[in-house]
Amino acid sequence: QEFKKGMPLVDGHGNFGSIEGDGAAAMRYTEARLQKVTQEVFLADLDKDVVDFMPNFDETEKEPTVLPVRLPNFLVNGSDGIAVGMVTSTPPHNLGEVIDAVKAYMKNDKLTTADLMQYIQGPDFPTGGIVTNKDELLNIYETGSGKIKLRGRVEVEQDKGGKLRLVITEIPYTMIGANIGKFISDVVELIESKKATDIVDISNASDKNGIRIVLELKKGADVEKLTNMLYKKTRLEDTFGVNMLAIADGRPEVMGLKSIIKYNVDFQYEITTRKYTTMLNKALEQKEIKEGLIRATNIIDLIIEIIRGSQQLKQAKECLVNGNTEGIKFKNPESELLAANLNFTEKQAQAILD
């Protein structure tokens, strides 16, 4: 769901629910594939032994213990969940900002959290909204826990008759789902209890282009007072609890921004090292075989004579590797002397015989 994730990883076709809390269609009415970014960022180089594999639940196949993710998805998409006596709640961040911060850390790992926050200035919620306690962000990103105060964005519009209306175009991230309906019913309650007499009507004009909740006002209404009342009495101002708990080196740990980026960079270093080690070993193996084949072409007549004179393949291989000519019929004695000096490696001998 695009309104929940900073960078959705699955590309769905069909109805997957809405920001207002409508449920998704049954599985048989939808289909899904991976987003292009998922294939490039999460699954690249899986065939190059970059991560360890373990048996799956019934031990019929092997699965990676961890995916070789190229960026700190923990920061980009955020994370929330409850485990045994632990809870994690990480807000989503802007992809470009996160990558800039990672690059800066790679160039200089002495950077402080405050330095990294020149790149990542705060969370980037897909629903927008305004962070009101920016002065507390540094402490939240240093310790990995705290509370972010969020407000919806309220704009004032005026119609031709001079009447004003308040339009909410962005909402706090915590308002996703049933809380939009709750907000509207809270405003209706304020009107009915005569606490907000200046509001004439409220309507939800949100569509696929985004959120648009419209509050029609009386002429001469006090906009500022009304806006502050909405922040105070409804979910238009809300708190997002941050607790950046992740599994680091097999142990749960609440981590600050710098720590998360450090673990990510170390992981990148590890998977890149493993990738190039695998590629180098493959290239060296190819080199060994090709050197053997080049040597074999220079003495091809002798090799054909060994193969023809052998009873079994095993005899020919033994001769190529160790120079053992026992049981091989040679047409001339010179060949036998030459064959006794052969010393191909196992892999080279197999490639020649193949």
Helices (runs of H) and strands (runs of E) counted in the chain: 12, 15
Phi–psi pair at 84, nearest 5 degrees: -70, 100
Catalytic (active site) residue 231:
no
Q: How far apart are CA 92 and CA 125, in angstroms?
A: 6
Which residue type is seen at 275? K
Nearest to 77 by CA among 107, 110, 37: 37
Lookup: tokens for 226? 């009304």
Q: How far apart are CA 118 and CA 23, in angstroms?
A: 39
Q: How many CB atoms lie within 10 A of CB 338?
A: 17
Contacts of 303 (CB under 8 A, 6+ apart): 296, 320, 352
Task: Let me know: does 268 contact 327? Beta carbons within 8 Å.
Answer: no
Q: Identify the active-site residue in 29, 105, 173, 276.
A: 29
Task: Let me know: does 245 contact 87? Beta carbons within 8 Å.
Answer: yes
Active site residues: 29
